[in-house]
Structure 1
């Protein structure tokens, strides 16, 4: 399914880019901008962003890496809000 008509990006392209980023760096935070850059594209009108984000949300690669979870609670000298 085409997600971004301006750049002809499909849901498969998004998932493949996310899987590639996660394999290349297991600790990376994946954002829509990083997906666009990984595909060699730039966002244009932004009309696709809700569908783009929904497509990203369906990928297992989107999870925050374990090492980056709960950082606020584990830093000494800081109190959690």
Structure 2
């Protein structure tokens, strides 16, 4: 599935980049800008960032579910990430209407 129309980036490419970053440091905080920097791209309109965040959460949860980390560590880390999403207003989707999202 195509996630970023500006840079022609697929969901699979983003997932592979997230896994590569998690292999380097499993407990780092991964944000869309870090993924784009790792792919040597840059966000242009940034309309894809909400979808990228959802992909980050899904891939990170799956990665840690397969790892040797204890369940308490994983839940604590993911709760902090979700708390940051709520704190910094991911519900607003950069001020766009809910019907604006392409995916």
Q: TM-score, normalised by structure 2?
A: 0.55
Q: Quick one: distance in 1 between partners of 2:41 and 2:6?
A: 10
| CA 1:20–1:48: 2 relative to 1, 3 Å | same
**Following superposition, which runs of at least 4 residues in structure 1 exceed 4 angstroms of deviation?**
none
Q: Which has the higher contact order (CA 8 A, sep 6+)?
A: 1
Equivalenced residue count is 68
Q: CA deviation at 1:54?
A: 1.9
SS of structure 2 residue aligned to 1:41: coil
| CA 1:52–1:62: 2 relative to 1, 3 Å | farther
Q: CA deviation at 1:50?
A: 1.8
Q: Quick one: distance in 1 between partners of 2:52 and 2:15?
A: 10
Q: Quick one: distance in 2 between partners of 1:44 and 1:51?
A: 15
| CA 1:27–1:56: 2 relative to 1, 3 Å | closer
Structure showing greater Rg: 1
Q: Quick one: distance in 2 between partners of 1:38 and 1:26?
A: 16
Q: CA deviation at 1:27?
A: 3.0
**Residue in structure 2 matched with residue 19 of structure 1 by the alignment:** 19
Query: How big is each residue's C-alpha offset from its partner over 1:43-77, in whole Å with a ceiling of 9 and x where there is no partner?
Result: 000111222222222213489x84xx58xxxxxxx
Report the structure, 1 or 2, having the larger helix content: 2
